[in-house]
Amino acid sequence: SFLIPTNLDSGRCPLGQFPCGNLSVCLPQLLHCNGNQDCENGADEENCVDDSGWPQLFDNIQRNRVSKGQREETYDC
pLDDT along the chain (77 residues), means of 10: 53 87 89 92 87 72 74 52
Helix (H) or strand (E) holding 54: helix 54-75
Predicted model pTM: 0.51
pLDDT at 58: 76
| Distance between CA atoms of residues 38 and 19, nearest Å | 11
We find that the CATH architecture of domain 4-75 is: Irregular (4.10)
Asked if residues 60 and 31 have their Cβ atoms less than 8 Å apart, the reply is no
